[in-house]
Structure 1
């Protein structure tokens, strides 16, 4: 319900604020637009959770402008930062941008792009994506891609790898997006830098039999012998129908499921062997499938081992698992059914308990930003709906997001608001997720005014760097413009305040259209949304 005297803000509204009272510019710069593009594939102020659309030239206007202005080296540096520092929601925009730089008319830009190839494309899947982007750009730009510079860059990518790492990489990720290692080695005319790389190149282009013929009677170096032995194991498992032998090879040589045949993955012992050293992120994704197939059975040693790994502080730290990632996996597992297909399972209590423990332990993986946060939850409508694309209710999501900041940022204030006023809310850092969720759902609903938290902070002399407003309401209502309210807070507090407006149930409409760099809208919520919040808090987008 829209309260009287309030203002509805939609994509058609446009409020421009070029500076605060302190003279700090808030106009969205070209660099900020570029960084938004690298972060989530759009230059606008709207991030839509779980939207993995194909990046196009139309969405990269500022990127193109910066290249035309001779700022290509600056663009490449930002691409490197976003890929290396984990700032991006997804890496697709970075591969597109690097491909575009590598085909620009200015020599310095092309050189910078090719020099950065290995730093940006750290595994074969990245490299294949970069090459595919170049192919698609070639079709639009009417220029070739396999010139001397690309041939050298791709050759260097292979030649500068550690031989054993490369042997594992080419056997785990053989092809992607229509490209294979055989294609890239042939088109780049790669000349191997050493004997071990030469062995891998021969294996990729000629096959295992040719390798055996070429190296069986030779005096080989220690490194070549190691690579030969590894490739022999990979070939052996590919031709083995003996379940016991496959399990032994997996356990002894740390083989992964990408190196096995489809028939191998029908075996329970094979899956149990794979689970022992499978990356924790991958384990969390397939818990439902493993329970459904009775690979993880109640009370079994395998289930106990998985539970120990899930809640191991060492394992969680090594995998850099974020608490919101644990929550998404836990709620999905609790659901007992996959999003696609007919896979169903009875959630195992011990696994659920382990994931609950992991949720709290993983907070140590969240690096504090060190800013003053105010997290405000709109309880004017029921928080019982589901965040699109997840199994998480909006109440649990709001409580979890609040906890992430309350537990990891030293200066975090939590508010709830309803019926046109702020309401008491006692969420604290020492609460459990269930307790925090209960605090939110017990508050009665009413009308919405999303500027209330900003007004409260301004009137109470509370300087805030980042306002995070969470609502279940897909439409925002305000008694005043959020940009005007934010500007007033900046002027009175002296803080470079920013506003993140998150519609938890929104599925993609613009909540606010503004040229104020300090305001970003989020539709839905996922792990990427937390990256967006972190980036805006640190003035990166």
Structure 2
């Protein structure tokens, strides 16, 4: 892997290549950098606030509009495709909004590129519904319709280019979102089905099952049509069945999912246990508390044992792309015994907790290294006993977990702790358990905060660093010098393309400084998305 600073990623075409002088010009925040921040986390600024779903609007996408006015719409669309396909986003909404904006720009080539990219960017029905809704919202201010020839063709192509069985499953799992249904989109787009199987699905969505039966019962149908017809018949049968045994049989034989069942079906423990067998691991993690509360997962049961085995399977963890920090969040939430919303409570199962603990360590293999030179510095000057907002994790555990992630996955990582105006001894090692790492951090006495210390240490010791990650509990810092100036000095003296990430683990909104330096990002709170932001910054993508 190429070292940081010599990246040949596409974003380097739009931003200056950083030179060894470390001057202000190479780090200027241009429109392309702002666009990439927007696509990543929905804001053009250098502050990422964890778990915050900001309102996406044209007012928050000024760089995007500027690039479109410069005639660079085709490049913008390519960047949208890359961010969605390479999983560079914290949330997908900003990418759908940006594509919608491109699709109704005055430049013909931009519009064509946006509509051509629709299927690649909007891979699920929910994505398509979001895109159409953004177009509606953007058009409302213009007092005109949205269903022109280009959108009709793009939506028609979205349906026609799907594999029929995948489309049949998709339209029965996700029937509506954002006030739109498949019936709406097929009708408004005047879709002409590309083949008999798509025609069958279109008729089912727009006319209903009875009309499908009448139209296809006496026909000579192709093998593919028969396959889709049989699947839709199963979906209809389960919708109208009150027989628990029949519902369970249909789930097991046809891999039906929770979204395809009736609410009444989900009152049955046996139905849940049938769903659990093929339920995606990400869904299992989200529903662990619910299933424990409903007594679907009981101590020592075969279902609980099967869940524990899946959680400890490296193959299952890899397939589901479980990140160690995501597993930690799920584990701490389950351990809490109560949901954040509603009145659902449960008694955490010790077997499941042990399996989740094992899964945390096994999932480190899912983290792809960036390959840079990292310094992760933990501010132990204030008590690390606070809770990270929106989670059940203490700041001490969060700091230890974040530190472990980099220490275990990046070969060139230095871990530092600082307090009372100086670095303090910290016997941290990558092979520690989370409990040991947490203890190592909290045993150090507190004092005043100075986040420039790790940068100064690296400069004085001739240690060139690509990314400094500063973890602190308190977002209110005392500086002996400006962090921005200290970072610039490190760049100049060591010829490094250094970046700085300031993480205020308990902060709900702060900025490190009023700076236009592309190498600085502030993170308020912490979640899985924060690691995506750090990774993108390290790879020169935002």
Deviations 1:481-505 (A, max 9, x none): 1110000000111110000000000
- Measure, in 1, the Cα distance between the counterparts of 2:258 and 2:22: 57
Deviations 1:61-85 (A, max 9, x none): 0101111111100110000000000
Deviations 1:309-366 (A, max 9, x none): 1111110000111000000000000111111111111110000000000001101110
Contact 1:99 1:130 in 2 (8 A): yes
- Measure, in 2, the Cα distance between the counterparts of 1:142 and 1:102: 17
TM-score, normalised relative to structure 2: 0.96
Contact 1:331 1:391 in 2 (8 A): yes
Residue 501 of structure 2: aligned partner: 500
Residue 262 of structure 1: aligned partner: 263
Contact 2:282 2:320 in 1 (8 A): yes
1:396 paired with 2:397, answer yes
- Measure, in 1, the Cα distance between the counterparts of 2:399 and 2:359: 19
Question: How far apart are residue 183 of structure 1 and its match?
Answer: 0.1
- Measure, in 1, the Cα distance between the counterparts of 2:277 and 2:493: 57
Question: How far apart are residue 477 of structure 1 and its match?
Answer: 2.2
Residue 169 of structure 1: aligned partner: 170
Residue 460 of structure 1: aligned partner: 461
- Measure, in 1, the Cα distance between the counterparts of 2:532 and 2:315: 23
Tell me the secondary structure at the aligned position of residue 444 of structure 1. coil
Deviations 1:260-310 (A, max 9, x none): 000001000011111111110110011111111111000111100001011
Contact 2:499 2:538 in 1 (8 A): yes
Residue 249 of structure 2: aligned partner: 248
Tell me the secondary structure at the aligned position of residue 508 of structure 1. coil
What RMSD, in angstroms, separates the aligned Cα atoms of the two structures?
Answer: 1.0
1:474 paired with 2:491, answer no
Contact 2:385 2:395 in 1 (8 A): yes
Contact 1:377 1:470 in 2 (8 A): yes
Residue 21 of structure 1: aligned partner: 21
Contact 1:76 1:112 in 2 (8 A): yes
1:73-88 to 2 correspondence within 5 Å?
A: 73-88=74-89
- Measure, in 2, the Cα distance between the counterparts of 1:523 and 1:512: 14
Question: How far apart are residue 429 of structure 1 and its match?
Answer: 1.0
Contact 1:20 1:26 in 2 (8 A): no
1:331 paired with 2:332, answer yes
1:186-201 to 2 correspondence within 5 Å?
A: 186-201=187-202
- Measure, in 1, the Cα distance between the counterparts of 2:509 and 2:84: 25
1:101-500 to 2 correspondence within 5 Å?
A: 101-500=102-501
- Measure, in 2, the Cα distance between the counterparts of 1:168 and 1:19: 52
Deviations 1:505-524 (A, max 9, x none): 00123333210000000000
Contact 1:512 1:521 in 2 (8 A): no
Contact 2:20 2:496 in 1 (8 A): no
- Measure, in 2, the Cα distance between the counterparts of 1:502 and 1:535: 15
Question: How far apart are residue 384 of structure 1 and its match?
Answer: 0.5
Tell me the secondary structure at the aligned position of residue 359 of structure 2. helix
Residue 522 of structure 1: aligned partner: 523
- Measure, in 2, the Cα distance between the counterparts of 1:143 and 1:377: 54
Deviations 1:129-175 (A, max 9, x none): 00000000001233321000000000000000000000000000000
Question: How far apart are residue 189 of structure 1 and its match?
Answer: 0.1
Greater mean alpha carbon deviation, residues 18-27 or residues 144-153: 18-27
- Measure, in 2, the Cα distance between the counterparts of 1:22 and 1:533: 21
> Paired residues, what number?
524
Residue 11 of structure 2: aligned partner: none
Residue 6 of structure 1: aligned partner: none
Tell me the secondary structure at the aligned position of residue 253 of structure 2. helix
Contact 2:22 2:488 in 1 (8 A): no
Residue 42 of structure 2: aligned partner: 41
Question: How far apart are residue 22 of structure 1 and its match?
Answer: 4.9
- Measure, in 1, the Cα distance between the counterparts of 2:442 and 2:132: 50
Tell me the secondary structure at the aligned position of residue 277 of structure 2. helix
Question: How far apart are residue 248 of structure 1 and its match?
Answer: 0.9
- Measure, in 1, the Cα distance between the counterparts of 2:129 and 2:478: 46
- Measure, in 1, the Cα distance between the counterparts of 2:220 and 2:506: 65
Residue 511 of structure 1: aligned partner: 512
User: Structure 2: any 5+ residue segments left out of the alignment?
Assistant: 1-17
Question: How far apart are residue 20 of structure 1 and its match?
Answer: 6.3
- Measure, in 2, the Cα distance between the counterparts of 1:241 and 1:373: 58
- Measure, in 1, the Cα distance between the counterparts of 2:100 and 2:514: 30
Contact 2:31 2:63 in 1 (8 A): yes
Residue 97 of structure 1: aligned partner: 98
Give the ranges of 4+ consecutive aligned residues of structure 1 lying more than 6 Å apart after TM superposition: none
Deviations 1:192-238 (A, max 9, x none): 00000000000000000000000000000000000000000000000
TM-score, normalised relative to structure 1: 0.96
Contact 1:237 1:260 in 2 (8 A): yes
1:39-78 to 2 correspondence within 5 Å?
A: 39-78=40-79
Deviations 1:448-478 (A, max 9, x none): 0010000000001111000000000121221
